[in-house]
Amino acid sequence: MDTPTRIVEAALIAFGRYGYRQASMELVAEQAELSRQALYRYFPTKEALFAAAVARLHESALEAAADAGRAARSAGDDAAGVLAAQLGAHHATILGRLHGSPHSAELLDENHRQCGEIASDAGRRLASLLGATLRAEQRAGRLELPGDVAPKQLVEYLLAAARGLKAAQPTPSPDAFRRSLTPMVRLLVTGAAKRR
């Protein structure tokens, strides 16, 4: 693992353990087994380090979603199963970092305050992945949507449902999130599908 990646992973651990306000650059340096001076060469401020950690978390979540979608399709899941796998893996990756942290609300607040553009970009990329999945399912004849339901519209509904579940307090565990999400996605997708 290269040094910047090691630092970002250490930051994710420190922020989860101590929260944003209490996690110091010194704690992150210790976690990464570096001097503070070495840490500052890569990340000049705590804000820059937090942004890098948030970006890495979103990137990991998107990778997990893509992998889960491929695995679900390979296993023969229908369109709803593939979409549920993608959304479940994406959000479980993020929730896995937050679950059990007494600082999850603070970290989410800091994320919204400091990293809005990073989160927005990740949201657009997730929507694009889900939209591509829907279109692939349509082209393969495994899903037919009526004319008044566009894939983009269904993706918006799926994302809104997932956000609602994720916003529950206390922060749900990744497993609890998936258990609630899967039937909700199935209901939305099969409800939107054209009857044959």
Condensed to tens digits (0 to 9), the pLDDT of residues 94-149 reads 989 888 889 988 998 999 999 999 999 999 999 999 999 999 999 999 999 988 88
Within a domain: residue 20? no
Output the CA angle 131-114-104, nearest 5 degrees: 80
What's the rounded Cα separation, in Å, for the pair 148 and 142? 18
pLDDT tens digits, 49-97: 999 999 999 999 999 999 999 999 999 999 999 999 999 999 999 989 8
pLDDT tens digits, 26-56: 999 999 999 999 999 999 999 999 999 999 9
Owning domain of residue 179? 57-192
Within a domain: residue 4? no
pLDDT tens digits, 144-191: 998 888 899 999 999 999 988 887 767 788 898 899 999 999 999 988
Domain count, the chain: 1
Asked if pLDDT for residue 195 goes beyond 70, the answer is no
What's the rounded Cα separation, in Å, for the pair 184 and 187? 5
Within a domain: residue 184? yes
Within a domain: residue 147? yes
Within a domain: residue 148? yes
Within a domain: residue 108? yes
Within a domain: residue 40? no
Q: Do the Cβ atoms of 83 and 158 come closer than 8 Å?
A: yes
Q: What's 83's domain CATH number? A: 1.10.357
Within a domain: residue 26? no
Mean pLDDT of the chain: 93
